[in-house]
Each structure stands twice: as structure tokens, then as C-alpha cells.
Structure 1
Amino acid sequence: IREMDWDSFVEMQKAYYIVLCTTGIPANLFAAFVILTRPCHLSKTTTIYLVALACSDTLSLVWAGTFNLSQLFLDADDFWGSSSGCCLAIVLEYGTVLSSVWIIVAFTVERYLVLFQERASRCFAQPRVARGAVAGLISLSYLASVMACLLSEHRRSSFPPGEANVTERLCSLFSNTSFVSLLWIHTFVCGLVPYLLLIAFNALIVYQLHLRSRIHPPPGESAAAALCRTQLRLQRTARLLLTISLTAVALGLPRFLVYSAGLAGPGTAPPLAMLAEICTMLEALNSAINFCLFCLASTAFRQECTALV
């Protein structure tokens, strides 16, 4: 990639993160306000999970804007390349991203139990359980981010005299070769497991919806009426869940795969570096569009937003 092309890409990144933060942060806060204060016909546990997700996504956008814009505009590599800056970046990045992803996982599992497992739903579909799950997942996410900081490698090395006077700063979780087994266990549990759970439970939900669509009508009711009633009841609840969780997989999984495959980090070729940046931008986009997803999937939420505006 020519230098001019890379400079154009950097300028595009500046505009992208500015627009993302200035629109995504207010939209997430507005979504949380509407869900909390307006009758959106959501259960108490759904309200807890969605408000927690909106707040977590807001923190993720604040962090993404601070980190990326400071690097793009202020050339803050000296700070982020230092040992303390490296640790802070990893803790905040992993903490915010993992919190959002695991909240979506908990929401998906809880909705599956409520929709299709009546006995289990009596235990899990309670506000206190939802609040405890959110608090526990956020705490574990930041604990995992601290472990990622301890596993990461931070190094400074200068080129020999007579060559360009450049100091290379390395701050990367995937560059550590001292604890390879522990590193991959941590990566698998924190990065791959939530996406696998989302894919698995969404597949189960779609399968159960397909089975319920073939339900036999009760006596005195036509098959068409029974089918319509069942589909409306289930799809109204599942539409929002499927929209949020599948979007999280589509926008978040590529970055995990790129970084796990070693296609990003210090010293990578410009095309791969650009690919890694695009995946990071997609992951940040997921934190900004939940308001649009709510409007798309929930008629009641959309009507309440229109009434407020």
C-alpha cells in the first residue's frame, strides 16, 4: 500500500471515530433512558440486560474515541507505548469489549430459557438474578482484562547506531512467547467462547421457532390461527434478541480471528495492518448501533422514541 493510500485511510479513520462517538454515545444513553422510563413492553430482566448493554457500549465508545483519536490527532504513541499506557489500554479495551459481549451472551441464554424451557425460566428469569449476572460478568470481564495485561509483552528496542534513529514499542498480548499455553487458554475462554455460545444459542432459538411453527392447533381452532398466534408471540420476543446477538457476532468475531491468527500487531505489513484496523472499526461500530437495532427490532421502542421526539 502506498504512503498516500495509508494517509487517506488515516484521515478516514479520524472522521469515522468522530462520527461514531458523537452519534453513538448520545444514542446509547437515549436508548437506556427510553427503556427505563417508557412502556416498551419489555420484561424486567430484558430491561436490566438492555440498559446494562447500553451503558457498557457507551463506555466502550468513550474508550475507543479516547484511544484512537488521541493516537490519530495527538500522536500519543509515547504515552500508549509506555508500560503504564500499555497496561491501561489493554485493561480498558478488554474490559469494555468483554463486558458488552458477555452481557449479550447472558441475555441470549436467559431469553432462550424463558421462551423454551419453562422450568429453568422460573429460576433465571428474575430481576435479582439478572442484576447479579450483570455485576458478576462485568467484574469477571475486568479481571480477565487484568490477566491479559499481565500476559501481554511490553518491550522497547532501538535500532543499532548508524541506522534510522527509531525506537520500536511493542505492546501486544499475542506477542508473548513465554506463556503460550496460558495465553491461548485465556484467549479461547475470553474471546472465542462467547461467540460460540451466541452462535449455538441463536441456532437453538431458530430451530425451536421452526418447531413451534408446526404446532398442532387446539380443538376448535384452525391451523392457520394457531400458527399465527404462536409465531407472533415468539417472534415478538425473539426478534430483538436475534438482531442484537447476531450483529455482535458479525461485527466482533472478525477482529478476534484476525488478532488470534497473528495478522495484526507491530511489524505487520501495511495491508494486514489496514485489515486489523478495519476489524477494530467494525467492533466499535457494534457498540454504536444498538439504538438502531432497538428501533429496527422493537415496534414499541420505536413508537416511544417517536413520541418523545
Structure 2
Amino acid sequence: MHNPVTGPVFAIYYPVFAAFAVPANLVAIVILSRGRCGLSRCITLYLVSMAVSDLLVVITAVILNRIRGIYFQLSFLTHTTGCSITAVLTYTSRDSSVWLTVAFTFDRFVAICWQKLKNKYCNEKTAAAVIGTVCAFSFLRNIPCYFMYEPLYIIGNVHWFCSIRSAFYTSTGWAAYEWLDRILTPCLPFLLIFVLNALTIRSILAANRARRRLCGKSKGENRSDPEVENRKKSIVLLLSISGSFLMLWVTYVVNVFYVRFASGSYFAGSNFNDPRFILQESGYMLQLWSCCTNTCIYVGTQRKFREELKKAVIYPFDLIRKLSKN
């Protein structure tokens, strides 16, 4: 788990980020759960699960790790057991968020590119099974993280703070585990999302060209094709979600490769004049932003989501007006 850095920039940035990200994900969960956005139950399940996992990332990685480390350096979470559990929950929620994005991307890939498999795979039952499997696997995979730490201080038989065990740097088993962790998150998801998006776009462009030929559409006509319009809406939502994921994680991925093949270790401490520190912290900050961008994407791309959001904003004022009349 990345140790929180100190400084006025981070002391301001992380609370502001949490103040925006927590309500944004809560709003997304409530509105999507109501099922009034014109999306299928399958898509809705994926989007709700992604919002829940993003909310958990904000709570564990931002509030319980970074904000707590800056403002509340001594608390029950400072005990070795507390920070070890926090590390497991942070990694679990992070992996769930990443792989649910991959699962959603694959679901849309099947729906658009594999019409024969669409009815069997792209349904509510399969989506629930995939979501449950992703979350369970993410938790089980990160259980070893609990045993990765040892107490930094022992005062009166009380274990304080978390320090990575020395065996982590010398053991072949831990080295293999760390490599597997970096491959599974974020390198493999990064590659899968990029490839699936490329294949989906290629399939949509080919299908649109074929449909125009079959419809005998001439250049002078300006008729709208419902099938083409539906494909456009699907690809806009898909590319917005997965595209923002790729852009916000790319700095983190670059830093992972830099540490592995050039530096050898992550930067410790705070030094705004060191390029390694800037690269590392920029990667973490942008990665966390991926946990609150989906709500903005829904507002920008989904008309019915905007309508439901307007109703939610107006509702308290309507309630006050009705109560004042009574």
C-alpha cells in the first residue's frame, strides 16, 4: 500500500477529491439502481457494481489511507493489524474496480461483435455471476497482502504502523507474487481494454458500411437508421468509460515499468523537485480520478441519466415548497 505523502498540496487535494468523489458515486449508484435510465438490466448491473467498487476505492485508498495518514497519524488504523487490513481492502477494491471495467468492456464487445453469443452471455444472470466472481477473486488474490507487513514499532506489546517485511525483497515467492500483481493490475487490464475497444470499433465500422450498402443509402439522403444510432450510443458509452480508464491509468503504468526496469524501487518521501516523485504521485492521483469520472460520463452521454439527476436536485426544493404551502 502506498504510504501517504505529506505537504500542503496533498493536504488540500485529497479532502477536496473525496468531497467530490463520494457524492458522485453515491448519486450514480442511486440513479442507476432505480432502472430509469433506459439501459438494460445487464448494463445497469455492471455500472452499479463499478460505482460501488469506485466508492470503496475512495473510502479505503483516499480516506482511510491518505487523508488519515495526513490528518490523523495516530488512530486504531495505525496499529499494524488495522493498516494491514486496510491494505487488503484497498487492493481488493482497486482490483475489483479495474476488472469490472474489463468485464463491462468484454460484455459490450460480445453484444456488438458476437451476435450469436449475445443472448446467452449478455443477460442479467451472467452479469451477476461475473461481478460476483470478479469481486471474490479480487479479495482472495489480495489476502497475502495482510502477511506482507510487520510492525514498525512495538511499544508495550502494542504493534504500531506497517513496515514491509525484509523477506519481501529477498524471497522468490514474494517476488513472483509482486510480478503477478503488476501483471494482473494494471498491465493485463490495460492491454485487454485497448484490444477489445479496437476490435469493437472495427466491427461497428464494418457493420455500418454493410448496413448502408444493404439499405441502398445514397449520398443525398439524410434518413436516420435506428440500428446505426443504437450502435453509436453503445460505442459512445463504452469508449467514454474505457477510454477515460486508459488515459487516467497510463501514467501509473509508465511509472510501474520505470520502477521495474530503470529505478528498481519506488520513491520514498516528498520532493517536488525530483521527476521520479512527480511521475509517481501524478500516477497515483490520476489513477484515483478514474474512480469518479464515470458519473460525469453518464451526465455527458446519457440523456435519461441527466433527467433523473435533475429530478434528484429539484426534489428537495419541491418538498420544501409543498411543506411550506401546507
TM range (shorter): 0.7 to 0.9
Partner residue, 1:162: none
Q: CA deviation at 1:129?
A: 0.7
Q: Which moved more, 1:38-47 or 1:168-177?
A: 168-177
Counterpart among 291, 307, 315 of residue 287 in structure 1: 291
Name the SS for the 2:137 alignment partner: helix
Q: Tell me how many residue pairs correspond in the alignment.
A: 291
Q: CA deviation at 1:172?
A: 8.1
Cα deviation digits, residues 102-133 of structure 1 (max 9, x gap): 11111110111111211111211110110111
Q: 1:233 to 1:226 in 2, by over 3 A?
A: farther
RMSD: 3.0
Name the SS for the 2:290 alignment partner: helix
TM-score (norm 2): 0.78
Q: CA deviation at 1:97?
A: 0.7
Q: Distance between the aligned counterparts of 2:165 and 2:117, measured in 1?
A: 42
Counterpart among 241, 246, 264 of residue 249 in structure 1: 246
Q: Distance between the aligned counterparts of 1:277 and 1:87, measured in 2?
A: 22
Amino acid at match of 2:183: F
Q: Is the 8 A contact 1:254 1:279 kept in 2?
A: yes
Q: Is the 8 A contact 1:217 1:226 kept in 2?
A: no
Counterpart among 168, 171, 174 of residue 164 in structure 2: 171
Q: Distance between the aligned counterparts of 1:301 and 1:130, measured in 2?
A: 21
Cα deviation digits, residues 275-305 of structure 1 (max 9, x gap): 3222211111111222111111222212221
For 1:49-198, list aligned pairs within 5 A: 49-63=46-60, 64-76=62-74, 80=78, 83-150=80-147, 152=148, 154=150, 156=152, 170-171=163-164, 176-179=169-172, 180-198=175-193
Q: Is the 8 A contact 2:53 2:93 kept in 1?
A: yes
Partner residue, 2:8: 11
Partner residue, 1:206: 201
Q: Distance between the aligned counterparts of 1:185 and 1:26, measured in 2?
A: 34
Name the SS for the 2:87 alignment partner: helix
Amino acid at match of 1:18: P
Amino acid at match of 1:242: L
Counterpart among 39, 45, 50 of residue 48 in structure 1: 45
Partner residue, 2:321: none
Q: 1:148 to 1:168 in 2, by over 3 A?
A: closer
Q: Is the 8 A contact 1:174 1:259 kept in 2?
A: no
Name the SS for the 1:26 alignment partner: helix
How many percent identity over aligned positions? 22
Partner residue, 1:160: none
Partner residue, 1:36: 33
Q: Is the 8 A contact 2:88 2:142 kept in 1?
A: yes
Amino acid at match of 2:304: A
Partner residue, 2:316: none
TM-score (norm 1): 0.82
Q: Distance between the aligned counterparts of 1:247 and 1:62, measured in 2?
A: 21
Partner residue, 2:266: 265
Partner residue, 1:217: 213
Amino acid at match of 1:32: I
- Structure 1 residue runs of 5 or longer lacking an equivalent are 1-6, 158-166
Name the SS for the 1:287 alignment partner: coil
Q: CA deviation at 1:89?
A: 3.4
Amino acid at match of 1:89: T
Q: Is the 8 A contact 2:98 2:186 kept in 1?
A: no
Amino acid at match of 2:305: F
